[in-house]
Structure 1
Amino acid sequence: MPALFSDDWMVDFGNEWNEEPDLGDALAKIGFNSVIGYGFEGEDTARGYLNVENGYVTAAGAFDGQELNWDLRAKPDDWEKWCNKGLGMMALGLAYTGGKLKFKTGDYGAMIKNPAMAGPFIKSFTVMGRVARS
């Protein structure tokens, strides 16, 4: 099984993202385009990325210097917990205000105030849990 945020894991995550209507279809309705990085707190760069065009992942893999619109960071144990249990709106707020989920790049406040973005963002954690990992 691929390690969290490895090249193979990110490709699998992108495929799962595209299979989930509450992500792709929902984000397509608002014309969402972004490059999203995922990684671990304290590291200089993200480990993996998704390129999202009109709601759907068009490229995914190991981070290789792409310019990121969003760069999400947390400790490995927190990522594992969220992958296993998902993340609801209240837990997301607590993770952010408690410093467990950091937005190195991206505007958490603007995202969470927009239901068309917040719902899919929360759903992305459930989708992460569908991806096998070591």
Structure 2
Amino acid sequence: MSEIFSPEWLATFAQNWNAEPALSGALAEIGFTSTIAYGYKGEPAPKGVLVVENGKVTASGPYTGQPLNWDIRCTPEHWDKWLKKPPTMMDLGVAYTTGKMKFEVGDYGAMIKDPRMTGPFIKSFAAMSRVA
């Protein structure tokens, strides 16, 4: 497997994202367009980004200072754990409330209350776990 958040890893994550109808299709239905960053909790900047336009990832790569709609950070241990076994909604809620997952940008509370976003959010971790 490529190093997590490397350009190669992000490109495969993007392919998995776009191939998952319950993720890209569901987000296309609501016109979801965002730049989403991923990285490690406690670091000054995220590692990588996905650019999503109408549910589909159209670009991926390293974070270079671009404006973000979402910036999701976790401890390395949580990323490793979730790559092996995607989290459930309960796992994500516990990680968020205990501070192991942090949204540097974006509103986790608002997202989690919108069922049109909750399912795809969970599916994004499943797509991530399929990166080999």
Identical amino acids, percent of aligned pairs: 58
Match of 1:125?
125
SS of 2:22's partner is coil
Q: Which residue of 1 aligns with 2:22?
A: 22
2:77 corresponds to 1:83: no
Give runs of aligned pairs for residues 1-134 of structure 1, distance below 5 A: 1-132=1-132
Matched letter for residue 11 of structure 2? V
Q: Deviations over 1:76-100 (max 9, x none)?
A: 1100101111111111111100111
Q: RMSD value over aligned CA atoms? A: 0.7
2:32 counterpart letter in structure 1: F
- What is the rounded CA distance, in whole Å, between the counterparts of 2:76 and 2:91 in structure 1? 17
Moved more, 110-119 or 1-10: 1-10
Provide TM-score, normalisation by structure 2: 0.97
Q: How many residues align?
A: 132
Paired residues of 1:9 and 1:61 also in contact (CA < 8 A): no
The alignment's TM-score, normalised by the length of structure 1, stands at 0.96
Letter in 2 for 1:58: T
Structure 2: unaligned runs, 5 residues or longer: none
Output the amino acid matched with 1:86. Answer: P
Distance in structure 2 (CA, Å) of the matches to 1:124 and 1:83: 11
